[in-house]
Amino acid sequence: MQQDTTEWLEATPAGYARAVALWQDGAVVAFPTETVYGLGADAGNDRAVARIFAAKNRPQANPLIVHAPSIAAVRRYAYWNPQAERLAHAFWPGPLTLVLPLHPQAELSPLVVAGRKTVALRVPRHPVAQALLRAVQRPIAAPSANLSGRVSPSTAAHVAATMKGRIAAIVAAGAAEIGLESTIIGLWEAPVLLRPGGIPLEAIQAVLGYTPRPYHGEGGAVVAPGQLPCHYAPKVPLRMNARKVRPGEVLLGFGAIECHLNLSARGDLAEAAAKLYTCLHRLDAACPAGGIAVSPVPNHGLGRAINDRLRRAAASAGTRAECQTAPE
């Protein structure tokens, strides 16, 4: 649903009260989490959830993550198993999403799970997300607060740039601490990795005793639509593992090198993850004629998630023409 104005709410008791009132009214409110900003609405309200899909231009076949403030609060939405319990206790609240068999009495809008028999659950640790979820006492469905297929927002300003006029309000706090989306583990059978993210695979391995395999669906069917290559796309072309800059390109560096912007001059993967989307937003807005070149990023720890997002961005590189016409 289009709205004339989008309210800018501070992370104060008054701001929380307004956000909760809007959620109770079925409106869409963007809010910070430690990974990226989310576009939240009451997960039990069909019309509210439909508004999320409309605001994002998101295909209705792509299910949403349900957010709640504690393990106790998400327990009733799914059937649990011992591995899910271990991961939840190890990493919640935090940047982990678990996909579990949907409980028939979950009372979530069918739109949230896009008609599936599984549900994605997350307990974020960001203090503002915690305060809002505790105050509203409802499950909140929330995808990343970007237009479908575009770069995720790590600041409230990123959200406003594309969502202003499309949603009821934005609760503004600082930049997201992690800067990349949650790690998603599917647990309807043996654990599988649906999306690398804020919890490194090595940490998951340490809890489970083995590494969940990347899941590509049966017969090649995509299970998490976020696995599609066309996600996280800047409007200009992007090239990974670049060791030299080509004419017209801007270089997004990693490590002690000369470049336009540096993900982390000291080669720190957590710093690089936190800066990735902000750097992509900035370089994309500058519309470099030759596109964006990115230095090699080591493929371990958070580097795996960074490379995953860069690979998807590179696969769906925009065109110069689109760049010139798209609003900023």
Q: Given the complex with ligand TXA, which of 66 and 287 has the nearer CB atom?
A: 66
CB-wise, 38 or 253, nearer to ligand TXA? 38
Q: Which residue type occupies 124?
A: P
Site string for ligand TXA, 117-146 (x = CB under 6 A): -xxx-x-------------------xxx--
Rounded Cα distance, 86 and 72, in Å? 14
**C-alpha–C-alpha distance, residues 232 and 283, integer Å:** 14
Asked if 312 and 195 touch (Cβ cutoff 8 Å), the reply is no
223 binds ligand TXA (CB under 6 A): yes
Residue 274, contacted partner among ligand TXA, Mg ion, none, CB below 5-8 A by kind? none
Considering beta carbons, is residue 64 or 273 the nearer one to ligand TXA?
A: 64
User: 302 touches which of ligand TXA, Mg ion, none (CB within 5 to 8 A by kind)?
Assistant: none
Please answer whether residues 229 and 235 qualify as being in contact, where contact means their C-beta atoms are separated by less than 8 angstroms. Answer: no
Closer to ligand TXA at the Cβ: 18 or 58? 58
Among 84, 128, 172, 194, binds ligand TXA (CB under 6 A): 194
Smallest separation (angstroms) from ligand TXA to the CB of 112: 8
Q: With respect to ligand TXA, which residue has the nearer C-beta, 106 or 323?
A: 106
217-222 LR contacts (CB < 8 Å, sep 24+): none
| H/E element, 89 | helix 82-91
Q: By CB under 6 A, tell whether 253 contacts ligand TXA.
A: no
DSSP 150: B
**Residues within the interface to Mg ion (CB under 5 A):** 144
Work out the angle between the directed axes of helices 82-91 and 201-208 (0-180°, nearest 10): 130
Helix (H) or strand (E) holding 120: strand 118-122
Residue 251 binding ligand TXA, by CB under 6 A = no
Which stretch, 114-122, 203-211, 252-260, 299-307, contacts ligand TXA (CB under 6 A)? 114-122
Phi/psi region, residue 125 (left: phi>0; alpha: psi -120 to 50; beta: rest), is alpha
Residues found near ligand TXA in the complex (CB under 6 A): 33, 35-36, 38, 62-65, 97, 99, 113, 116, 118-120, 122, 142-144, 181-182, 184, 194, 223-226
